[in-house]
Amino acid sequence: MREEAALIRRAQSGDMGAFTELVQRHDKAVLALAARYVNNAEDAKDIFQEVLIKVHRGLPAFQFRSEFATWIHRITVNTCLSHASRSKSNRHVPLYDERRDGRGGADGEELQSDSRDSPHSRAERTDAADQIRNALQGLSPQQRMVFVLRHFEGHSLNEIARALRCSEGTVKRYLFMATRRMRAQLKGVF
């Protein structure tokens, strides 16, 4: 932690190399959270860029009251929620999965066949994953964020409450409503 504190202080004084190293230490977590939240690679990249700008601008005011990872996580959560409210009127459902080409491969590669992994079972998994993604998109931004942080990121209710700056009771309510809605939307899928 002392090493990271030294990096933060150097970055606060304008050392771009130190800032770059800080970003590299946390970029995967930021991008992963954004990608899970928005379920769109381009939107996730936009959120990632916005987070980096906010971190760069806010770094001089960082006062070590929390861990740097907690601080950048909170910025990411807030940016995801802001992005959701900005794009609410611009929602769209992609006509195809951008990660796949016409042959069913990712990035132009063919999927490897496994005797246990029949085309039928792959199709069922893909269909279930699509239904889960669609169900997540049907949640309110706060419900989706709580659900993602709890079930995909594995955060405790207390950590989520701190990140969202609300009470644990509020987090529990969002999680209860999100879980109930997900169960209703996914009834018969599992």
- Cα 148 to Cα 37, 110, 190: the distances in Å are 7, 30, 19
pTM, full prediction: 0.64
Q: What is the pLDDT of residue 93?
A: 38
**pLDDT beyond 60 at 92:** no
Residue with the bigger pLDDT between 154 and 11: it is 11
Confidence band of 120 (pLDDT split at 50, 70, 90): low
164: CB partners within 8 A, 6+ apart: 77, 142, 145, 146, 170, 171
Residues 70 and 122 in one domain: no
Look up the CATH number of the domain holding residue 174. Answer: 1.10.10.10
Residue 111 lies in a domain: no
Residues 128 and 166 in one domain: yes
Residue 101 lies in a domain: no
Tell me the pLDDT of the chain averaged across its residues: 80
Look up the CATH number of the domain holding residue 48. Answer: 1.10.1740.10
**pLDDT beyond 90 at 4:** yes
pLDDT one-digit tens code per residue, 16-68? 999 999 999 999 999 999 998 888 888 999 999 999 999 999 999 999 998 99
Residue 51 lies in a domain: yes
**pLDDT beyond 50 at 113:** no
CA 34/CA 49 separation, integer angstroms: 11
- Number of folded domains that form the chain: 2
Range of the domain at 174: 118-190
